[in-house]
Structure 1
Amino acid sequence: MSQQVYMNRELSWLKFNERVLEEAENKKVPLCERLTFASIYQSNLDEFFRVRVGSLVDQMLLGGKIRDNKTKMTAKEQIEEVLHQVMKLNRRKDAVYDAIMGQLEDYGVRLVDFRKISKKESEYLEKYFLSEIAPVISPTIVGKRQPFPFLKNNEIYAVVVLQTKSGKEKLGIIPCSNTGFKRLVELPTAGTYILAEELILHYIPEVFKRYNIKAKSLIRVTRNADIDADALYDEDLDYRDFMAELIKRRKKLAPVRLELTREMDGEIVDVLCDYLELDSDYVFQVQAPLDLSFVFEIQDTLRKTPELFYEKRVPQKSSQFRDGEPVFPQIREKDKLLSYPYESMKPFLNFLREAANDKEVISIKMTLYRVAKHSKIVEYLIDAAENGKEVLVLVELKARFDEENNIEWSRRLEDAGCRVIYGLDGYKVHSKLCLVTRKSEGQVEYYTQIGTGNYNEKTARLYTDLSLMTANVEIGLEAAKVFQALSMEETVDNVQHLLVAPRCLQNKVLSMIDEEIACAKEGKEAYIGLKMNSLTDKKIIDKLIEASQAGVKIDMVIRGICCLIPGVKGKTENIQVRSIVGRFLEHSRIYIFGTQEREKVYIASADFMTRNTLRRVEVAAPIYDKDLKMQLEEMFITMLSDNQKARQEDSRGNYEIAEAQETPLNSQEFFYEQAYMRVTI
């Protein structure tokens, strides 16, 4: 049997989350940062169950005949393997969490439970519970008069088995998430804390005094979030109101996971599963707290101990821009490229601010997918509209889990006089595109910004992204074409410079791979370099396999899902895949096709996933400036040389830390050091 060259998408994602967990386990990572990675592992898994497992469950309920187009696994087979892998990974998460918290005690921080406290502390907590918590909690006893309550997604509840004097058993449930009290409760002993849900669970006999407590546990339910907005949309409804209603509906979808912190009798678990209409296979017992978001509060108490954290890094001034001078003339001189988080977003913010106030600017057009809760970018767009500019903003209301924020911003933009549109039927608009049109001395000028990441000031300090700013007229005209199509609820079907999904990206990528295949067959040097978050598009995967078989050398830096297995003899032996998981979230996309004179380089908003290439509006921009092209090539080579945070995928689909045979190289730290050096030169 030939060796498999495909990996299942869901199992590949779990391997990515395992790499996140490895950073929590990595003793070279500062202790508080390890805690952050444990929290990220958990929140990643929460979303994975809501979206991906939820989707698989829906497929299974519909008959389960759909098979993964790469590994041919059914939904049931995928779920079974996912649950098996998650059980193993969660044991590692529990162990590393316990180890980290144990080590933090050496720094004066203790998170305790009732096995680890003194009598005096116990007396204090009982008084605290009775005065601060007991008056505001809302207990329920499940019975004929009180049905089983609706358990909110990812919120923590205390559940207890109550026995009456006659021996009859009932369930008691108390919500532990409440704005009336703090979750992280500080004890009088300096640096000592306990979680409110542990307090509630311990003192639950004080709440249900008439009953004998047979068993108790903290629980958390994760609910399916996989709703197809386009399939449900009614054209007679206001789209924004429809999305607001959809958010409410999503909060009530069926459970896909139940977590417990204490071992409970199987019959009790079955009763809970019956109420929740959940199969017991989806039940997980965990040792660590059900929600690790409190760790950031603990970290704040330790900020004065620098060895517990990464060295402080601040985005630096870009050497491509001159301070104190208008941005537009500088972009006219030469294309500019910003690299986040190493360089500051300030030049782009200045660009928007100047556009809002420049009397010669006619219009600003922009796509917004995810923005900060306090967004200067949106404020500048509002300023522009109030200054009489034509402002067109496409706000994607289907940006998963950011819908409410986007709905609020869309209302503010409309109130200010911006023209707001909401995307296309059947397609998310995921492109990062901004076009400023200016008329100076009778000449129309186009200033186009195309990025790999969201217009979000917060994530620009945490994610690695790229932002091109150009006055190239042909690119500007094509950007205008994209906005015109969006305004008409259409997609672009013909471009010469940009790559624009859903109709002009996948086909052009396949064509450029074919060009490399043709060169290899002629005995010429052929090369493809790709940097992205995920690779799942089977058409592109199969074309890359064909290219490898033809002798094209292919280097890929893929942070997350990779459904292609490299290094398989006779199939993918000319392909190498690396994943970088480090301090910053790798988010930039770079496409490189060809060598030397015929080399084509792009930055893009799109991963090579079918959802990006065929079901979203995405934009990739060509890099024509030789200096910027060289800058991106050097960045790509540096990432390929990373031997500290890069994992190499082998021919079995497993990832191992790249061996540091030479000088240790952490690409993210290297790029930051470069940014600091450029400022001092």
Structure 2
Amino acid sequence: MLTKDKEHIHMKHSPTTTSYLNRDLSWIEFNWRVMQEAQDADTPLLEKARFLSIVTSNLDEFISVRVAGIQDQIRAGFTRRDFSGYSPSGLHKRLSKRVDKMVTEQYRTYRDLTRQLHKEGIVFVEYEDLNMSQKELMEAYYQNIIFPVLTPMAVDQSRPFPLVHSQYVYLAVLLDKEEQNDEEEPFFAILQIPSNLSRFIPLPQRSNSKKRQFIMIEELIKHHIHTLFTGYAPVAVHEFRITRNSDLMINEEGAEDLIEEIEKELRKRRRGVPVRLEIEKGFHPTALALLQEEFEISDFVFEIEGPLDLSFLRNFANSLKGYSHLNYPPIEPAYPAEFLDHDDFFAVLREKDVLVYHPYESFEAVNDFIVQSAEDPDVMAIKMTLYRVSGNSPLIQSLAYAAESGKQVTVVVELKARFDEERNIAWARTLEKAGCHVVYGLLGLKTHAKITLVVRQEESSLKRYVHVGTGNYNGNTAKAYTDLSLFTADPVIGSDASELFNQITGYSDIREWQAFTVAPTGMRSTLFELFQREAKHAEAGRPARIIAKMNSLSNQEMIDELYESSRSGVQIDLIIRGVCCLRPGITGLSENITVRSIVDRFLEHSRIYYFENGGHPEVWLSSADWMTRNLTRRIELMCPVYDDGLKHTIVRILKLSLHDNVKARYLLPNGNYERVQDGDTALRSQFEAIQVSTWKNNESAT
């Protein structure tokens, strides 16, 4: 069975806390880089709106999970410092200041964006700006559409404070009774802004104007607040938003039914401890005192100058038609040329391995591979891991069809994929009803590996076909994330794929993998061996280099091993989109290490690991970042790429990232990032990667 990797005890040097950057502060730096895309003069206006939406969504998750965990530690009296030197209370204070600064800058950027949109004829208006005709239309919209779904909730001795849902926008309302004595306390009520109605309401265009006007739904509700409290006079009406602790505390060992346990925890999530309170600028002090008393929150309170929750900007930008000049030019993913003129995936893969680079090449190839496998009468079995799946995924339908057709279908569904728990529970039940064998992984481990195994009867034997990906089986995110898919019929990889599924679904002793390396049983120790091999090559004067592309690097032992390799003379180039706790460029420690981050139109998501190996390069694709959770608490996969042509293509992808001087930023030893200024000619890696089909054809020809 899969068990956790043994602790690595090799340590030649023990760096001090100043050798590391803090994980959470590093994440803040990443979200700053996202916001800088919304501030970049070269970013189209509606793309700026989308980046501001992403900043909000990122910050919501960070606060509901990471900051919530720090607050839990403080309440528990935990004072131990992490390996970067921060205690929970010290880190919490630092994060509070950094988040406050970020939010202030975010809303300054928002106000600048609305001014730029105004010049393009896209205008957010206040109720007082409406003309008589518009007011009449909005009156009808309020009465017919909004008013029927509003539920004012009074708070008094007979009606306790109602449940306030996390990350929803509410109005706090202070009221005076029309016949009230001046000395009486004002009445208090709250009102949820309907989440099932559009946050922004388009106003009819005037016949002689190209201007597009919008009004926020809360602006309309505020103006009509008196309709909800007849006999009372509104004193103050202000927006607020609470963020709760959203991490699930699942007792897997004590759970008789994992689905029931997770569903129970999901219900608890709705009542999670409040972590952050956002309030509209000018919030009435009496109303604020009532909220702070109810939520027991004194810090992480942010006053916002603008509409709360800018995540609505994504839908707003997507809803505007006729503004192509305010968006990036559309990219139509190419169907992989290797499969384009063939009806039979299996015939292609018997001849050669195939690499697909998303989103430049279509995820439909993955869907079609599963569809063909489900429909092919010679396919005996399909085994697949599912971590995050799109809402209308054809993969689910194909797997269900395959099971109903009598094939052996095994699906490892990860119920603990954060914020996708409910959806994955629904998929699991759908697949079980269709006759699939649904497995929920191993106790205490998340199944994060992305792999599909298809077993097919061919002549007198069975043949295995495998898909390994760096990203999820999600057709929606495959349009916005850069990821790699490897299709292969290599018998060694196929044998390892069978063994991996056997270890997840049954009882199998750990064996020596022929191709794969798997977490948590051995990935970390294998990576250490690869680092140390490069160090030996460097010390012997042979070619030695590591290029690693990932989302995050935060495991202390991995960082220490990279430091050791650097001191041995190995050139190490890290391409890390998000969190990085390693300090590059420190004399005697990391002077041979560079770290760069690329934030651009698409989310850099692929995990690629390259080792020079004395002139005999190895290339690996992986599901795992170099974080403690990936290496010790998840089932993760590293798969080698054997085909030389595919290796060349992947190296070209890595080199593009290393030469990006438009959207890349260098990490400095102090933890700050600065834009790369190298080269006389601008190179934007994501725009160059559009030519991937041409590269692949050239690599195949050579």
Q: Into which bin does the TM-score normalised by the smaller protein fall?
A: over 0.9
- Equivalent residue number for residue 635 of structure 1: 653
AA at the equivalent of 1:528: I
- Equivalent residue number for residue 527 of structure 1: 545
Q: CA deviation at 1:358?
A: 2.1
Of the three residues 39, 56, 64, the one matched with 1:42 is 56
Given that 1:491 and 1:617 are in contact with CA atoms closer than 8 Å, whether structure 2 keeps it comes out as: no
Q: CA deviation at 1:255?
A: 0.9
AA at the equivalent of 2:467: Q
Of the three residues 542, 550, 554, the one matched with 2:568 is 550
Given that 1:482 and 1:492 are in contact with CA atoms closer than 8 Å, whether structure 2 keeps it comes out as: no
Distance 2:204 2:332 in 1: 36
Of the three residues 176, 188, 203, the one matched with 1:163 is 176
Provide Cα deviations, 1:155-203, integer angstroms capped at 9, x if missing partner: 1111022234223223221111254x54322333452211111222233
Given that 1:233 and 1:242 are in contact with CA atoms closer than 8 Å, whether structure 2 keeps it comes out as: no
- Equivalent residue number for residue 60 of structure 1: 74
Given that 2:52 and 2:311 are in contact with CA atoms closer than 8 Å, whether structure 1 keeps it comes out as: no
Given that 2:446 and 2:634 are in contact with CA atoms closer than 8 Å, whether structure 1 keeps it comes out as: yes
Q: CA deviation at 1:662?
A: 1.9
How many residue pairs get aligned? The number is: 676
Distance 1:277 1:332 in 2: 63
Distance 2:374 2:270 in 1: 39
AA at the equivalent of 1:177: P
Residue 576 (str. 1) matches residue 591 (str. 2): no
Of the three residues 322, 329, 336, the one matched with 2:347 is 329
Given that 1:5 and 1:572 are in contact with CA atoms closer than 8 Å, whether structure 2 keeps it comes out as: no
Deviates more, 1:671-680 or 1:594-603: 671-680
Q: What is the SS of the residue equivalent to 2:631? A: helix
Residue 380 (str. 1) matches residue 398 (str. 2): yes
Distance 1:368 1:384 in 2: 16
Of the three residues 85, 90, 105, the one matched with 2:98 is 85
Distance 1:578 1:367 in 2: 31
Deviates more, 1:164-173 or 1:600-609: 164-173
AA at the equivalent of 2:353: D
Of the three residues 189, 192, 201, the one matched with 1:172 is 189
AA at the equivalent of 1:285: E
Of the three residues 176, 200, 219, the one matched with 1:184 is 200
Distance 2:356 2:134 in 1: 53
Given that 2:107 and 2:305 are in contact with CA atoms closer than 8 Å, whether structure 1 keeps it comes out as: yes
Of the three residues 270, 277, 282, the one matched with 1:258 is 277
Distance 1:322 1:172, change over 3 A: closer
Deviates more, 1:3-12 or 1:120-129: 120-129
Q: CA deviation at 1:494?
A: 3.2
Q: CA deviation at 1:347?
A: 2.8
Of the three residues 194, 218, 225, the one matched with 1:204 is 225
Q: What is the SS of the residue equivalent to 2:18? A: coil
- Equivalent residue number for residue 288 of structure 1: 306
Provide Cα deviations, 1:344-391, integer angstroms capped at 9, x if missing partner: 123322322222122222211111101111111121111211221111
Provide Cα deviations, 1:404-448, integer angstroms capped at 9, x if missing partner: 111111111111111111111100000001111122121221111
Q: CA deviation at 1:575?
A: 0.5
Q: What is the SS of the residue equivalent to 1:640? A: helix
Residue 270 (str. 1) matches residue 289 (str. 2): yes
Given that 2:543 and 2:615 are in contact with CA atoms closer than 8 Å, whether structure 1 keeps it comes out as: no
Distance 1:526 1:53 in 2: 40
Provide Cα deviations, 1:123-153, integer angstroms capped at 9, x if missing partner: 5544543454334311122110111111011
Q: Structure 2 regions of 5+ residues with no counterpart?
A: 1-14, 207-211
Distance 1:3 1:239, change over 3 A: closer
Of the three residues 499, 502, 518, the one matched with 1:484 is 502
Of the three residues 200, 223, 235, the one matched with 1:214 is 235
Q: CA deviation at 1:296?
A: 3.9
Given that 1:423 and 1:489 are in contact with CA atoms closer than 8 Å, whether structure 2 keeps it comes out as: no
Distance 1:332 1:119 in 2: 71
- Equivalent residue number for residue 194 of structure 1: 215
Given that 2:537 and 2:614 are in contact with CA atoms closer than 8 Å, whether structure 1 keeps it comes out as: no
Alpha-carbon RMSD: 2.2
Distance 2:541 2:322 in 1: 60
- Equivalent residue number for residue 536 of structure 2: 518
Q: What is the SS of the residue equivalent to 1:579? A: strand
Given that 2:535 and 2:544 are in contact with CA atoms closer than 8 Å, whether structure 1 keeps it comes out as: yes
AA at the equivalent of 1:513: F
- Equivalent residue number for residue 115 of structure 2: 102
Which TM-score applies when normalising by structure 1?
0.95
1:72-151 alignment runs, 5 A limit? 72-114=85-127, 116-118=129-131, 121-122=134-135, 124-126=137-139, 128-151=141-164
Distance 1:264 1:408, change over 3 A: same
Given that 1:531 and 1:557 are in contact with CA atoms closer than 8 Å, whether structure 2 keeps it comes out as: yes
Given that 2:168 and 2:195 are in contact with CA atoms closer than 8 Å, whether structure 1 keeps it comes out as: no
Q: CA deviation at 1:270?
A: 2.8
Q: What is the SS of the residue equivalent to 1:22? A: helix
Distance 1:490 1:139, change over 3 A: farther
Distance 2:447 2:519 in 1: 10
AA at the equivalent of 2:66: R
Distance 1:297 1:503, change over 3 A: closer
Deviates more, 1:264-273 or 1:250-259: 264-273
Of the three residues 234, 237, 255, the one matched with 2:254 is 234
Given that 2:37 and 2:43 are in contact with CA atoms closer than 8 Å, whether structure 1 keeps it comes out as: yes
Distance 1:514 1:148, change over 3 A: same
Given that 2:124 and 2:214 are in contact with CA atoms closer than 8 Å, whether structure 1 keeps it comes out as: yes
Q: CA deviation at 1:81?
A: 1.0
- Equivalent residue number for residue 247 of structure 1: 266
Q: CA deviation at 1:56?
A: 1.0
Distance 1:115 1:283, change over 3 A: farther
AA at the equivalent of 2:70: L
- Equivalent residue number for residue 4 of structure 2: none
Of the three residues 20, 41, 54, the one matched with 2:34 is 20
Given that 1:50 and 1:226 are in contact with CA atoms closer than 8 Å, whether structure 2 keeps it comes out as: yes
- Equivalent residue number for residue 328 of structure 2: 310
Q: CA deviation at 1:80?
A: 1.1
Distance 2:436 2:365 in 1: 23
Distance 2:416 2:316 in 1: 34
Distance 1:419 1:42, change over 3 A: same
Distance 2:567 2:237 in 1: 59
Distance 2:155 2:230 in 1: 16
Q: What is the SS of the residue equivalent to 1:400? A: coil
Of the three residues 588, 594, 603, the one matched with 1:585 is 603
1:363-378 alignment runs, 5 A limit? 363-378=381-396
Distance 1:324 1:441 in 2: 21
Q: CA deviation at 1:489?
A: 6.4
Distance 1:121 1:492 in 2: 70
- Equivalent residue number for residue 46 of structure 2: 32
Residue 224 (str. 1) matches residue 241 (str. 2): no
Q: What is the SS of the residue equivalent to 1:321? A: helix
Q: CA deviation at 1:261?
A: 1.5
AA at the equivalent of 2:69: S
- Equivalent residue number for residue 448 of structure 1: 466
Q: What is the SS of the residue equivalent to 1:177? A: coil
Distance 1:496 1:50 in 2: 41
Given that 2:17 and 2:85 are in contact with CA atoms closer than 8 Å, whether structure 1 keeps it comes out as: no
Q: Structure 1 regions of 5+ residues with no counterpart?
A: none
Of the three residues 152, 163, 181, the one matched with 2:165 is 152
1:664-679 alignment runs, 5 A limit? 664-675=682-693
Which TM-score applies when normalising by structure 2?
0.92
